[in-house]
Amino acid sequence: AQKVTQAQTEISVVEKEDVTLDCVYETRDTTYYLFWYKQPPSGELVFLIRRNSFDEQNEISGRYSWNFQKSTSSFNFTITASQVVDSAVYFCALYNFNKFYFGSGTKLNVKP
Amino acid sequence: DTAVSQTPKYLVTQMGNDKSIKCEQNLGHDTMYWYKQDSKKFLKIMFSYNNKELIINETVPNRFSPKSPDKAHLNLHINSLELGDSAVYFCASSRGHGTDTQYFGPGTRLTVL
């Protein structure tokens, strides 16, 4: 069965702290895609990253980085030196067999 | 120039009514989607269309029907609205199905009274 688990319901950090959002997925397929999305308090959904199952290279984009590990079926997201603007709900998602599976989201609160 | 637009932004209606939400994308994408986000923030994909053909139809009541008059539009019709239909509905589009970046509309908040 396909499934995405974001065990952290809510995380609170103080500005400038580093924070990692966990994402664990389940799939029986060898070809799949993983995504992260951000939903700030204003409500819009913003695509952050897409990763296919054959590319395990970690990715860094500014203060954001992603650690994809097939051995542990995890696709974790780290924000370095967090800022108040990073406060949002973050969703991890899996795509395979023509279907999407979303995690329940992690709400990140960054306090000044 | 809004990439993915939805109308209306807010929709308040009575139980039993029929309503539509419109979505348009000007990105030239081949695939469009409808998502539902409930009050607990759970996101669920409802439909996707690729070149006007339905690809995914998750377990959605048949009161919900997507209509795609052309590649740039995917409208959502809802018949006999129920209280549980209250949610935020997002439209999205992508170049290809599933594997490409999705661009989302601003969402339509539907409230059924």
Residues A2-54 pLDDT 10s:
899 999 999 999 999 999 999 999 998 889 999 999 999 999 999 999 999 99
Closest partner residue to B98 (CB to CB) among A33, A43, A44 is A33
Q: Are B21 and B109 in contact (CB under 8 A)?
A: no
Supply φ then ψ for residue A86, to 5 degrees: -80, -10
Contact A99 B56 (CB under 8 A): yes
Q: What is the mean pLDDT of residues B32-51?
A: 90
Q: Does B54 touch chain A (CB under 8 A)?
A: no
Q: CB–CB of B41 and A105 under 8 A?
A: yes
Predicted local distance difference test score (pLDDT) of residue B50: 85
Mean pLDDT of chain B: 91
Contact B55 A39 (CB under 8 A): no
B106 near A CB under 8 A: yes
* Three-state SS annotation for B25-87: ECCCCCEEEEEEECCCCCEEEEEEEECCEEEEECCCCCCEEEEEEECCEEEEEECCCCHHHCE
CB contact under 8 A, B56 and A39: no
A100 CB neighbours in chain B (<8 A) are 45, 56, 98
Cβ neighbours of A31 in B, within 8 Å: none
Residue in chain B nearest A90 by alpha carbon: B41
Q: What is the distance between the alpha carbons of residues A67 and B33, in angstroms, rounded to a whole number?
A: 28
Give the per-residue pLDDT at B32: 93
- Whether chain B has a CB inside 8 Å of the CB on A90: the answer is no
Give the chain B residue nearest A106 (alpha carbons): B41
Q: Cβ of A77 under 8 Å from any chain B Cβ?
A: no
B89 pLDDT band (50/70/90 cuts)?
Answer: very high
Task: Quote the mean pLDDT of chain A.
Answer: 94
The answer on pLDDT for B101 being more than 90 is no
Given CB atoms, is B97 within the 8 Å cutoff of chain A?
yes
Count Cβ atoms within 10 A of the Cβ of residue A78 and give its class: 0-12 exposed, 13-18 middle, 19 or more buried. middle
Sign of CA dihedral A86, A87, A88, A89: positive
